[in-house]
Amino acid sequence: MSVKDTLLTGSAHVNGIDIAYVDKGEGDPVVLLHGFPDSHYLWRHQIDPLVEAGFRVIAPDLRGFGESGKPQEVEAYDMRTIVNDVVALTQHLGIPKAHIVGHDWGAAIAWMYAFLMPRRVDHLAVLSVGHPGVFSTPSIEQRKASWYMLFYQFPGVSEQLLRRNGWRLFKEIMGGEGDHQRYPRELAKPGALTAALNWYRANRSPESELRVEANFPPVLAPTLGIWSTGDKALLEEGMTGSVKFVKGSWRYERVEDASHWIPLDQPEIVTKLLLGFLGTEKAAAVPTRRRRL
Partner 1 sequence: MTVEHTGVDVVVVGGGIAGASAAANLAFNGLSVVLLEKQETYQDIVRGEWIAPWGLREAQTLGVEEAFGLGGAWEIREWTQWDETVDPAEAETVDMTRFVPGVGGPMSFPHHEVCALMAEQAEDNGATVVMGAQRAHVTAGTHPEVRWTHAGQEHLARPRLVIGATGRGCTVGRQVGVSMATSVHHWGGGLRVTGLDDWPMDVQAMGTEDEKMFMVFPQGDGNARLYINFPTANRKLYQGPEGEKRFIADFELASLPDRGKAVYSAAKPIGPLKLWPSVAMFPEQPIVMDGVVLVGDEAGNADTVLGTGLSCSLRDTRAVCEVLTGGDDWSPGAFEGYLAERKFRMDRLHFGADIIAKLYCEYGPAAAERRRRARGLMAENFAASVTGLLNMVPPEDVPDFGFSEFFAERLFRERA
**Does 2 engage in binding with partner 1 (CB under 8 A)?**
yes
From the list 45, 180, 201, 232, which residue makes contact with partner 1 (rule: CB under 8 A)?
A: 180
Residue list 42-101, contact with partner 1 (CB under 8 A): none
Task: State yes or no: is 38 an active-site residue.
Answer: no
Task: State yes or no: is 41 an active-site residue.
Answer: no
- Residue 204 DSSP code: S
In 3D space, the residue among 47, 97, 134, 32 whose CA is nearest the CA of residue 283 turns out to be: 97
Task: State yes or no: is 104 an active-site residue.
Answer: yes
Paired residues of 219 in beta bridges: 246
Establish whether the linkage from the previous residue to 138 is cis, with ω within 30° of 0: no
Give the interface segment with partner 1, choosing from 22-30, 148-156, 166-174, 269-277 (CB under 8 A).
166-174
**Does 190 engage in binding with partner 1 (CB under 8 A)?**
no
Give the interface segment with partner 1, choosing from 20-28, 170-178, 214-222, 249-257 (CB under 8 A).
170-178
- Considering 148, 183, 200, 231, which one is annotated as catalytic? 200
**Does 164 engage in binding with partner 1 (CB under 8 A)?**
yes
- Considering 28, 38, 85, 104, which one is annotated as catalytic? 104
**Does 168 engage in binding with partner 1 (CB under 8 A)?**
yes
**Does 139 engage in binding with partner 1 (CB under 8 A)?**
no
CB atoms within 10 A of CB 284: 16
CA distance linking residue 116 with residue 2, whole number of Å? 41
**Does 3 engage in binding with partner 1 (CB under 8 A)?**
no
**Does 144 engage in binding with partner 1 (CB under 8 A)?**
no
CA distance linking residue 218 with residue 248, whole number of Å? 9
From the list 87, 117, 153, 184, which residue makes contact with partner 1 (rule: CB under 8 A)?
A: 184
Beta-strand relationship, 17-24 and 10-14 = antiparallel
Instruction: Number of residues interacting with partner 1: please give it, by CB under 8 A.
Output: 16
Give the interface segment with partner 1, choosing from 40-48, 93-101, 184-192, 282-290 (CB under 8 A).
184-192
Kindly write down the DSSP assignment for every residue of 124-189, as one continuous string.
EEEES---TTS-----TTT--SSTHHHHHHGGG--HHHHHHHHHHHHHHHHTT-TTTTHHHHHHTS
Query: Is residue 222 helix, strand or coil?
Result: coil
**Does 167 engage in binding with partner 1 (CB under 8 A)?**
yes
Paired residues of 253 in beta bridges: 226
Which positions lie near partner 1, rule CB under 8 A?
A: 1-2, 163-168, 171, 175-176, 180-181, 184-185, 188
The residues assigned a catalytic role are 104, 200, 260
